[in-house]
Every structure is written in C-alpha cells, then in structure tokens.
Amino acid sequence: MSTTPTSTRVALVTGGSGGIGSRVVERLAHDGIAVAIHYAGNPARAQDVAAAVTAVGGRAITVGGDVADEHAMAAAFDAVEAELGGVDVVVNTAGTMTLGPIATFDLDALDRMHRTNIRGTFVVSQLAANRLRPGGALINFSTSQTRGQLPTYGPYAASKAAVEGMTLVLARELRGKDVTVNAVAPGPVATPLFLDGKDEATVAHFATVVPLERLGQPDDVAEVVAFLAGPGRWVNGQVLFTNGGLA
C-alpha cells in the first residue's frame, strides 16, 4: 500500500466508463476528487472519460479488471493507491441486467448476472472495507426494482436485493472506522442498460409512471452519489431510492 501523502480525495468508480459511471466520474471530478475509472472490457472508452476529466483540469487514471476477480481488483486498488496516494471513495456502478420470467429463466444467464452483480459487489466491498481511509465512503448500486415487483425483473431484482443486504450489514460492521456504506437504487434511467431491448412505447410507459413524468438521467444519479461521497456523512447504512417518486 502506498504511503504517499495527498490532500486530494481519491475515488475509484467501477464501471466508470458506463452510462451512469461516466457521469459519476465527471461529477466527482467537478468536486475536486481525483478519479480512477475502472473498466472491464473497453479501455478506449475509459480513456475517453479520463481525457474529458483531464481536459477541464481534473486528475484521472484508468484501471481494468473483472470486478468478480478478487486478485484483479486487488491489483486495481494497488494501482490507484500507487498512482493517487490512497482511496477515499469507492462507487460500485458496475453491473449487468438480463430480464426474463423466473419460471423459464436460463440458469447460466442467472449465474453470469449474479457473478457480476453479487460476487463483484462483494469483492469490491470487501476490498473497500480494508482499504478506504478514515472519512471514506462506499457507495454500492441497487435498483428500485427490488420493490417494484415488475414481471421479468425477478432475477435482476434478486441480485440487487443481495447488494442491499450486504451493504446494510457492512455499514454496521465498519463501526468505528469512520467509513460510510450506502446503496443508491435508481429507477428507470436513460442509459443503454435500461433502453436496450425496449421499444418506444415501453420506454414512454416507464416515463409516464414516474410522478415527475420523465425518465431519470445519469446526472440525477450522479448528484446523489456526489452527496454521499462528500457532504452526506450522516447518511450511513441506507438505500437511497433515486427514482423521481416511483413506488
């Protein structure tokens, strides 16, 4: 572990080149936080996000690895500590979503999704629990579908319910370490993860059921993450449903 002193807070954002992840990166950088942009399979996209941060005076690096591989992610944390001096914020936006009815859902697809969403979140949370500096924050990602009960979302909701469970327990286990642990649970957000495979009528329906009568935008979610990563120190062990009032 690097012991290089730094006065700048440092964040590692898994899935940092994705639709929500990239906006989280840019929002944290706006607050003066140095950011490490994690990617699994698209280093060029991660480099583009890093370039956007550095172009406006921020500091950014990229790190790769499978979030479910504890050795790869330990190496990613090592790289962040060596380059930026430590880790103060970990944001787990990395995730995957496959939809289908429970009665006929392909179990191999279930295993693949749960490997990223459950094991991946567990691996990164475990590392964060041991690496975050005092005053740090771990922010995991759930979904509003853990209480939405929409057909075809069962397998995905199950994976994210597990994320909520581990998040709430870890917040209590880190008593005395001055580290907050929370989860953000977005509703429908206009990203490729949500939009892929949906026709215009379906997308329009999701917009109308939200009391604010629109889909969320990545910036809406990034603002909540920035609050938890910075001033929201009295929020701990919570799931914040960021969904425009969707039940």
- Is residue 210 domain-resident? no
Q: Domain count for the chain, please give it.
A: 1
- Is residue 203 domain-resident? no
- Is residue 134 domain-resident? yes
In SS3 terms, the chain reads as CCCCCCCCCEEEEECCCCHHHHHHHHHHHHCCCEEEEEECCCHHHHHHHHHHHHHCCCCEEEEECCCCCHHHHHHHHHHHHHHHCCCCEEEECCCCCCCCCHHHCCHHHHHHHHHHHHHHHHHHHHHHHHHCCCCEEEEEECCHHHCCCCCCCHHHHHHHHHHHHHHHHHHHHCCCCCEEEEEEEECCECCHHHHCCCCHHHHHHHHHHCCCCCCECHHHHHHHHHHHHCCCCCCCCCEEEECCCCC
The pLDDT of residue 3: 38
Q: Which CATH number do you get for residue 47?
A: 3.40.50.720
- Is residue 216 domain-resident? no
- Is residue 80 domain-resident? yes
The pLDDT of residue 149: 87
Instruction: Output the pTM of the full model.
Output: 0.92
The pLDDT of residue 209: 81
10-residue mean pLDDT series, the chain (247 residues): 59 96 97 97 96 98 98 98 98 96 98 98 98 98 94 97 98 98 93 74 80 89 97 97 88
Q: For residue 32, what are the domain limits? A: 10-189+221-233
Catalytic position from the list 153, 156, 206, 241: 156
- Is residue 179 domain-resident? yes
- Is residue 95 domain-resident? yes
Catalytic residue status for 156: yes
- Is residue 69 domain-resident? yes
